[in-house]
Amino acid sequence: MRWWLTGVALGLTLQAAAQNPIQIDGDFMDWQAVPVAVTDPADDVHDTDGYPLGGKPLYRAYSDVDLIEVKFAHDDENLYGYMKATGVIGRTSSDTLGHARAGRYYFIFTIDVDDDTVTGYPLREGGYYPDSRGYDVNMEVEFYNGGFNTGHYINHEFLSQYQVDTQGIQDLKDGIIRLAPGTYDYYTQWVTLPDSSTILVSDRGPVIQGIITIAVSPDGHEAEIKAPMWGFLETPEGEPVVGLGKTIVVSASLEASGELSEEAVKRGYTPGSKSVWGSDTADPFRYTISDPSTKVSKGSSQLPRTIRLDQNYPNPFNPSTMICFELTEPQELTLVIYDVAGRVVTTIAQGKYSPGMHRVNWNGRDSQGRRVASGLYFYELRTETHRHVRKMIVAH
């Protein structure tokens, strides 16, 4: 797989082609070539909930959530996040280890996917009081009761619990997210499984290993997360919510219940007995999920939009579906179907195509003529300068 890194601004100069992709393995050599996205002061952890009106929240002595450095990267399919903390990332009290209660710890990347402060919710944390606005979705990991609990996605674009329970739940079943104004309090939270199904989850739920993975360094100070972009689902128009070519704004936070914190010790609490919530957020940064194919070509950032690839119809489908694309100039291209593991299933179009709209039918069979299994597939339209990928679902 090819591999790209992008800094905080647009442009070709920020691409550093690393030799190896990030591995979620608890080893951090793979992050050395990735530029620091943002640094954060040490010892600036604050009370998660207590906001005197217009004032700064209360200080907390809590090194485990004291964020000091953030990095961010991507490849064709995934977003990768890195955080460094003064203390131990993911440490929680555990009732199975004799603590009085089970603690919680959150490793959070909050994303404004449309770079628009009207959609999404405000974050009232960090060094940028009073508000940083516009966050639509999260990719995050919850640690609970001494260990990993879930790596989940969150959509914060609801204005009432009623809206969550009706539209939100239905949208999740349909695999879509609407970009809309939201609040911190109302959200859907889900784990995506490798077969592309989603499970609605809530905090402290059962341990579910979905497609988001995390690894913490042996000393606990560093952690790396991988979140496949397709797990953020699609807009009602069939566009990926998070995808190649988009510019997003990212905010990194650590937050935890703090039964084992220095603050709890300072207050004389019995170890693991009481919550002393604390969180730390770094300044948000803008990040372009550079489309690799537009980057390798010369002067590509100035290229006109020459190709459009539409959502297949019908979708989900059985047994066949139509894929439409439009060219504004003659193009040499391939249209290839991949399975979720990235294996080529079949090539359904190849050669030189004239300007205009083209329709290609796929009969749901691989290159050997065998009917493919139900599930998620990708179709990729590739030319010398562009590459577009969309998802589709075969449902027998």
Given a contact cutoff of 8 angstroms between Cβ atoms, the answer to whether 260 and 272 are in contact is yes
40 interacts with Ca ion by CB under 5 A: yes
Q: Which stretch binds Ca ion (CB under 5 A): 4-12, 37-45, 148-156, 308-316?
A: 37-45
The answer to whether 131 contacts Ca ion (rule: CB under 5 A) is no
Q: Which residues contact 197 (CB under 8 A, 6 or more apart)?
A: none
CB contact at 8 A, 137 and 242: yes
Q: Smallest distance from the beta carbon of 378 to Ca ion, in angstroms?
A: 25
Does 222 interact with Ca ion (rule: CB under 5 A)?
Answer: no
Does 67 engage in binding with Ca ion (CB under 5 A)? yes
Q: Tell me: does residue 183 bind Ca ion (CB under 5 A).
A: no
234 lines the binding site for Ca ion (CB under 5 A) = no
Interaction between residue 254 and Ca ion (CB under 5 A) = no
Minimum CB–partner distance for residue 185 and Ca ion (Å): 17
Which of 47, 112, 142, 157 is in the footprint of Ca ion by CB under 5 A? 112
141 vs 392 by CB, closer to Ca ion: 141
Under the binding rule (CB under 5 A), the answer on residue 23 touching Ca ion is yes
| Per-residue binder mask for Ca ion (CB under 5 A), 132-171, x = binder | --x-x-----------------------------------
Alpha-carbon Rg for the chain in angstroms: 22
66 binds Ca ion (CB under 5 A): yes
Task: Single out the residue of 392, 20, 395, 331 nearest to residue 175, CA to CA.
Answer: 392
Q: Number of residues in contact with Ca ion, rule: CB under 5 A?
A: 16
Is position 119 an interface residue for Ca ion (rule: CB under 5 A)? yes
Q: Is 114 in the site for Ca ion (CB under 5 A)?
A: yes
Helix runs in 143-269, H state only:
161-163, 169-174, 262-266
Select from 93, 86, 105, 75 the least CA-distant residue to 41: 86
Task: Work out how close the CB of 246 gets to Ca ion at its nearest, in angstroms, rounded to a whole number.
Answer: 11
State in angstroms the smallest separation of the CB of 137 from Ca ion: 9
372 and 334 in contact (C-beta within 8 Å)? no
Q: Min. distance of Cβ 111 from Ca ion in angstroms?
A: 9
Looking at 39-47, 169-177, 251-259, 339-347, which segment touches Ca ion (CB under 5 A)? Answer: 39-47
CA torsion sign for 104, 241, 116, 121 is negative
Measured distance CA(329)–CA(79) in Å, rounded: 32
For residue 13, the minimal CB distance to Ca ion (Å) is 25
Q: How far is the CB of 164 from Ca ion (least distance, A)?
A: 18
Shortest distance, position 115 Cβ to Ca ion, whole Å? 7
| Residue (119 or 155) nearer to Ca ion, CB | 119
> Which residues are paired to 375 by β-bridges?
394
Q: What is the DSSP letter of 299?
A: T
* Distance (Å) of CA 20 to CA 55, 89, 111, 226, 265: 45, 25, 25, 15, 43
**Distance from the Cα of residue 335 to its chain's centroid:** 26
57 lies in the site for Ca ion, by CB under 5 A:
no
For residues 75 and 232, give the distance between their C-alpha atoms in angstroms, rounded to a whole number: 15
225 binds Ca ion (CB under 5 A): no
Q: Please report where in the chains the tokens 């010369």 appear, as a residue.
A: 298
CA-angle at 152, arms to 282 and 149, nearest 5°: 100
- Contact status: 75 vs Ca ion (CB under 5 A): no
Provide the minimum distance between the beta carbon of 269 and Ca ion in the complex, in angstroms, as a whole number: 23
263 binds Ca ion (CB under 5 A): no
Minimum distance between the CB of residue 282 and Ca ion, rounded to whole angstroms?
Answer: 6
Looking at 27-35, 93-101, 294-302, 353-361, which segment touches Ca ion (CB under 5 A)? 27-35
Helix H, strand E, coil C: the string for 50-63 is: CCCCCCCCCECCCH
Largest CA distance in the chain: 75
**Which is closer to Ca ion, CB of 40 or CB of 291?**
40
Told to check if 81 binds Ca ion by CB under 5 A, we report no
Burial class (CB in 10 A: 0-12, 13-18, 19+), 231: buried
Applying CB under 5 A, the residues found at the interface with Ca ion are 23, 25, 27, 30, 40, 44, 66-67, 112, 114, 116, 119-120, 134, 136, 280
